[in-house]
Structure 1
Amino acid sequence: MRAFWREYRENWIAVVALAVVVVIVLAALLAPWITPQNPYDLASLDLMDARKPPGFVGSEGYVHWLGTDAQGRDLLSAIIHGLRISLQMGIAAGLFAMTIGATLGILSAHAGGWVEAAIMRVVDLQLSFPAILLALVLVAVLGQGKSQLVIALVAAQYAYFARTAYGAATAERQKDYVEAAHATPLPGWRIVLRHILPNCLPPLIVVGTVQVANAIALEATLSFLGLGLPPTEPSLGMLIANGFQYMMSGRTWISVYPGIALIVLIVAINIVGDQIRDQFNPRLRR
């Protein structure tokens, strides 16, 4: 880890991106204590404070530094809570998709034969469809809610992990140490868990960071289209959608600030993932 961090900090852009991710995660975790308003408490909202510009002092006596939205929510509070929801959805979907995809990919590479053909043909078929199309269909069928949204995101993304794990496990399966392990009386599950899986983790970690960012963007897209979380739990995509109709009237802050927060989060995670990918790639190592 010390060697990894020593090489990581040589790229100052990646260090800044990591610091941004850490700050956003801390802000999301501490959202109930650092925000002046609970945007989910509809009883605390005042329509007289709706669509007010940044710097407006509301009826409750505090400054709305980023203004308010069409429901009178403090936009800064709504953005921080929206980041919390985005991170929850992205990390949960990424972990479940990695677990399912890695299991299927390594199982198909290790088993071979008809098991390999059946699993990978299903994965290839799913990869031929856009993730947003599959997620839209699943959300429309399952309905709104956090659990339904996570299921849709996992179903749309597990195939990327399965294909990555399959490629890495296939390469490892042909190496001498795996053949030597097969020559011993070790059970197959032990060979997979103790020998093949640890050597497949680096590419899976890289794909995981990228897919977390993709899951956040996909969740925001679904919420923007009105198929994400319910209106009582505004995510960044819903905040952008709520302010979209006011863009031409000059109230651009309602959509612009949540959009900036979403872009910063996704770009920062992608930069961190790119740096981790470069460090795990032996061809790029000095």
Structure 2
Amino acid sequence: MSAPSTPLALFWADFRENRVALAALAMVALIALAAIFAPLIAPQNPYDLATLSLMDARRPPGFVGSGGYVHLLGTDPQGRDLVSAILYGLRISIQIGVAAGAVALTLGATLGVAAAYLGGRLEALIMRAVDLQLSFPPILLALVLSALLGQGRLQLIAALVAAQYAYFARTAYGAASAERRKDYVEAALATPLSGRRVVFRHLLPNCAPPLIVVATVQIANAISLEATLSFLGLGLPVNEPSLGMLIANGFPYMMSGRSWISVYPGVALIVLIVAINLVGDQVRDQFNPRLRR
């Protein structure tokens, strides 16, 4: 059997040698599939008020509710089945994390490559603004923007993008600047080739590997920030059972023997974030020859 020759095949061959990263990737895929098909596999729709009963509120794991099915992980203070709420919460967390990461990646890569390619005063202006934004903790910036913009998915994504785009901009600028100074790029700029062709053929492809690594980290950070903001009441509205909101709903009952309301959503959040970070660590190691075993 011939050895894999394409870059993707070589990447996958190296990736699967790390069993921890492979297990983490399988966990991420399993969670993503469970979130996508949550309406089909969840025993209850936590958005449907007609299916909720306050008589079932704060019930322990294994309780048979008024709907006739077993609440395997118990219920929250609104009577929502925790299995269903966690599945829908994971769905929200992944949607917001991926959306915020994609927009931040697009915005940051555009600014970073533009600064490296154009140079001059525009480069100084863009990078000073990026450096200024990086001087603030992301959670602080996200808190302030969420308080100003209000609750909602679009507002939350906008706050997360503003808190994260600078990481992509700085990464893209570093990679593009190193490539911009190489002889073959200088030669391409001296030809009649359009600047757009130089950027998309020479600069952006060389920025992709480090940007992919940053994207995996920032998606996990976006999920964590969303949960933090929702826990503090600054993220999603109370009628959307995000993981942060579920943890916040059970927090007052932690010392009264009803810890499952917060513990199970917290465990789901931790598993998701750790799995994404483990995948990101392996991707980083493979793109950086110095870190590869």
Question: What letter is aligned with 2:81?
Answer: D
1:278 and 2:285 are equivalent in the alignment: yes
Q: Report the equivalent of 1:176.
A: 183
Q: Which residue of 1 aligns with 2:19?
A: 12
Structure 2 runs not aligned, ≥5 long = 1-7
1:282 match: secondary structure: coil
1:32-63 deviations in Å (ceiling 9; x for gaps) = 00001000112211011010111111011101
Instruction: Tell me whether 1:22 sits opposite 2:29 in the alignment.
Output: yes
* Distance in 2, Cα, partners of 1:241 & 1:164: 35
Q: TM-score, normalised by structure 1?
A: 0.99
What is residue 78 of structure 1 aligned with on the other side? 85
Match for residue 140 of structure 1 among 139, 142, 147: 147
Deviation for aligned residue 1:283: 1.9
2: CA distance between counterparts of 1:120 and 1:184?
Answer: 28
Q: Hey, what's the Cα distance between the residues in 2 that align with 1:236 and 1:206?
A: 25
Aligned equivalent of 1:63, options 48, 52, 70: 70
Moved more, 239-248 or 176-185: 176-185
1:115 maps to 2:102? no
Match of 1:228 in 2: 235
Greater shift after overlay, 271-280 or 187-196? 187-196
Matched, 1:48 2:61: no
CA deviation profile, 1:129-188 (whole Å, cap 9, x unmatched): 111111111111111111111100001100000000010111111112211211211111
* Distance in 2 of aligned mates of 1:43 and 1:148: 28
Query: Aligned partners of 2:178 and 2:249: how far apart in 1?
Result: 48
RMSD: 0.8
Q: Runs (4+) of structure 1 moved beyond 4 Å? A: none
Deviation at 1:285, TM superposition (A): 3.9
Is residue 38 of structure 1 aligned with residue 59 of structure 2? no
Residues 84-103 of structure 1 show CA distances to partners (whole Å, capped at 9, x for unaligned) of 00000000000000000000
- Specify every segment of 5 or more residues in structure 1 that has no aligned partner in the other structure, as ranges: none
Q: Residues 51 and 67 of structure 2 are in contact (CA less than 8 Å); yes or no, is this contact kept in structure 1? A: no
Provide the aligned length of Structure 1 versus Structure 2: 286
TM-score by length of 2: 0.96
Please say if 1:247 is aligned against 2:254.
yes
Q: Which amino acid aligns with 2:282?
A: Q
Q: Who is 2:268 aligned against?
A: 261
**What is the one-letter code of the residue matched to 2:275?**
A
